[in-house]
Amino acid sequence: MILEYLSNADRSTVFIGAATLTAVIIVYRLRQKSSHDPRHPPSLPSIPLLGSLPFLPWRADQYHGFFLEKSKSLGKVFSFQAGSQYTLVLNGREAIYEALVKKSVDFADRAPMFGEKTIWNTGLKGIISKKYTENFKKDHHLSLSILKELGFGNPQVLESRISTELESFLKVLKNTNGQAIYPKEAISFALLNVISGIMLGHRFDAVDDTLRGVFKQVGQFLNHLDPVLDILPSASSLPKYRRLMAEMHEVKSQLMGTVKVLIGVGLSKENEDNFVKNFVAKVGKDNYDAEDLEYIVRDLTNGGIQTTAIMLQWAFILLGNNPSVQNKMRKEIDSVVSKDRLPSLDDKRQLPYVEATILEIYRSRGLLPFVFPHATTCETEVGGFVIPEKAAVLLNMHSVHMDPDVWSEPEEFQPDRFLSEDGTVINKEKVIPFSLGKRSCPGEELGKQEMFLFLASLIQRFNILPPLGQSKIRDEGVVVRFLIPAPFEVRFLARE
């Protein structure tokens, strides 16, 4: 104990200081409680200067569970002070749906994340981080319209793009001859080529140096996303986070250098229609903001790779550890799809158990415990409470998918929870894997189609198994901004 090394006088000073601080906190909290306006949401405790810092977890992987637990006593809508920033926390589908759908414009702004506005994207360019301005609306509309021209909204066009990479991926798995592998790079490579075909009109070779750079830098980017800094920027003064931020600057420089190379690839394609060529053509070569395009490409490419790659890795783990679920999927697929072809999007309506399993994967291993923070554009209301303008808004998706008051045994993997007694898919609206409203993921349609086609085809052609000598595949998650599987090995044994 430190006190053992202090003199009696020093001990007295420590105790007096601690007692004084405790008294200040108690008095301040009592004043807060007595002055609370019932029109405003209840709040976590806070103290001068530090706000709610002393009352929040310090570990990134604890926030979503902590806020869900607090919602039991404070309600689905409550607030806290992140230093001087008023921060709203929304828990549960009803509160989140009211904010993002019923009052979508009121909650359409961004509360810039600390790492994004200080390092990754200081100008807040692109789509994800940009404030809800006329410039955002213009770029967002333009990006969506170009994506639509390139096949978004046309299942046949997207399925054709996905199928080319899917077949290559299945060949890679077959060539493993049932040996245990860590599938992260193989699935990321396939999904990168799907999105790069759309964004750049280009397909990468497996040994391409640019491709290797993308994988390395995106991986480093994800590893350096710490939500503690986003929620509590004051933590940046601590030695651990000063070192982290120095590393972030270096990774940012490398990542954006690679993005510029990717844009150059897209612009060089004379006979290939792609996103970057269309963007420049529609805005005008002399009018477009090069840096803005770089961040749009970063956002769409990163999202196009990571979201489905992470969810498919969770799928491999969950299905490998639940062979009865895997076998029921396979039996259903075999009854609908002949062995001489792969499952198609047209088969989806006849594969309710496959759809239910995908919904359960989304629910039980939600990609984002929190979606990227929103902010209010004006004074508004949610859950019957008045919310001030420019409030930061945290949307706790973990509470949507793991609340025991909504889901029976939420920790258990149970696809049947999404099926009625007659085998019809139910409760799908209760799962929100891609957020909602005006800032929802623009690649939602592509991600859902990739998830269905890759998973249904893989189950049709392979058995997913733990490594030899192991009864289970490693099932552990690491929370950065995403819930990412810890490295694991799995076997894909081809069916005869």
In degrees and rounded to multiples of 5, residue 52 shows phi and psi of -90, 5
User: How many whole angstroms separate alpha carbon 92 and alpha carbon 68?
Assistant: 9
Residue 458 CB-density burial (10 A; 0-12 exposed, 13-18 middle, 19+ buried): buried
Query: According to the model, what pLDDT value does residue 24 have?
Result: 54
Tens of pLDDT along the chain (496 residues) come to 334 444 454 555 545 555 555 555 554 554 454 446 789 999 999 888 788 888 988 777 888 999 999 999 999 999 999 878 899 999 999 999 999 999 999 999 998 777 788 888 888 898 888 999 999 999 999 999 999 999 887 888 999 999 999 999 999 999 999 999 999 989 999 999 999 999 999 888 876 777 677 777 777 777 767 767 776 777 778 888 888 888 888 888 888 888 999 999 999 998 778 999 999 999 998 888 999 999 999 889 888 888 899 999 999 999 999 999 999 999 999 999 999 999 999 999 999 999 999 999 999 998 888 888 999 999 999 999 999 999 999 999 999 999 999 999 999 999 999 999 999 999 999 999 989 999 988 888 999 999 999 999 999 999 999 999 999 999 998 887 788 899 999 999 999 7
Q: Which two tokens stand for residue 200?
A: 């750049």
Q: What's the CA gap between 54 and 48, in Å, rounded?
A: 11
Q: What is the pLDDT of residue 29?
A: 53
Burial of residue 164 (CB within 10 Å: 0-12, 13-18, 19+) is middle
Rounded-to-integer distance, Cα 219 and Cα 287, Å:
33
Predicted local distance difference test score (pLDDT) of residue 252:
85
From the list 91, 138, 82, 140, the residue with the least C-alpha distance to 111 is 82
Please report, for residues 15, 88, 99, the alpha-carbon distance to residue 37 in angstroms, rounded to integers and kept in the order given.
35, 15, 21
User: Exposed, middle or buried: residue 27 (CB in 10 Å: 0-12, 13-18, 19+)?
Assistant: exposed
Domain 36-494 part of CATH 1.10.630.10: yes
DSSP-assigned letter for residue 492: E
- CA trace torsion 177, 178, 182, 186 (10° rounding): 50
Per-residue confidence (pLDDT) for residue 13, from 0 to 100: 53
Domain boundaries, the chain: 1-35, 36-494
Three-state SS for 175-233 is CCCCCCECCHHHHHHHHHHHHHHHHCCCCCCCCCHHHHHHHHHHHHHHHCCCHHHHHCH
Residue 8 is predicted with a pLDDT of 52
Question: Six-digit token pair at 365?
Answer: 């291993």
Q: Is 494 helix (H, G, I), strand (E, B) or coil?
A: strand
The predicted model scores a pTM of 0.88
